[in-house]
Amino acid sequence: MFNLVLFGPPGSGKGTHAIRIKEKYNLFHFSTGEYLRAEINNKTELGLRAKEFINKGNLVPDDLVFEIIESLIEKHKGVNGFILDGFPRTIIQAEQLDKAQTKINESVSMVLSLVVDEDELMKRLIKRGEETGRHDDNEAIIKRRFDVYNRQTSPLIEYYKNQDKYYEIYGLGSVDSIFGRITNIIDAYFANIK
């Protein structure tokens, strides 16, 4: 099973590229952000709990997110693999994921990180907020999300580098050119495991 973690700061293009990766490699795509937003819109208990954190630009607590991920892995055992988009976001989540996957003889295959500078990310997110009406895409919350990302999520770079699973993708240019960079790395991975 091919298990891909799609990594990068808010606005780096994870969602856009995850859809294309899913289609090309026939993987199950799971976005924690989309899932939690759907729960918030449906006013579920989980959604109401998550909304308190998201509206302040904070990460949803590890235990809550991991509950969702464990359930996801259990429900979709027969798929070719997963794209985890927006998870893990902390070292604790990465360690929990490793433990859960070890139980079923699986592991993260690779981590692809979309690298984009913060000025460009700010422009993208402000534009997205204007186009979609997402309340968390305003300048104050975006700055808070960058800060949270830099403090809590960026340490995962070293975590996955130490496992030789981390690959950086230059995240500027056309969607097609970025996607080409992504597929070159994934295709090289598959060529090496044959």
CA angle 56, 60, 109 (to 5 degrees): 130
Report pLDDT for 32.
79
- Is 134 a residue of the active site? yes
- Is 56 a residue of the active site? no
CATH number of 2-187: 3.40.50.300
Q: For 174-185, how does the pLDDT look when each residue is reduced to its tens digit (9 = 90+)?
A: 999 999 999 999
Q: For 20-40, how does the pLDDT look when each residue is reduced to its tens digit (9 = 90+)?
A: 999 999 998 888 778 888 888
Active-site pick, 22, 89, 124, 165: 89
Q: What is the DSSP letter of 44?
A: -
- Is 49 a residue of the active site? no
Residue 86 pLDDT grade (very low, low, confident, very high; cuts 50, 70, 90): confident
Residues 6 or more apart in contact with residue 126 via CB below 8 angstroms: 137, 138, 139, 142
Q: By mean pLDDT, which of 27-31, 109-113, 133-137, 175-179 is the weakest?
A: 133-137
Asked if 34 and 42 count as a contact pair (C-beta separation under 8 A), the reply is: no
Residues 6 or more apart in contact with residue 80 via CB below 8 angstroms: 1, 2, 25, 26, 27, 28
Active-site pick, 22, 51, 124, 145: 145
Report pLDDT for 135.
80
Active-site pick, 134, 143, 151, 161: 134
- Is 14 a residue of the active site? yes
How far is 60 from 119, CA to CA, in rounded Å? 25
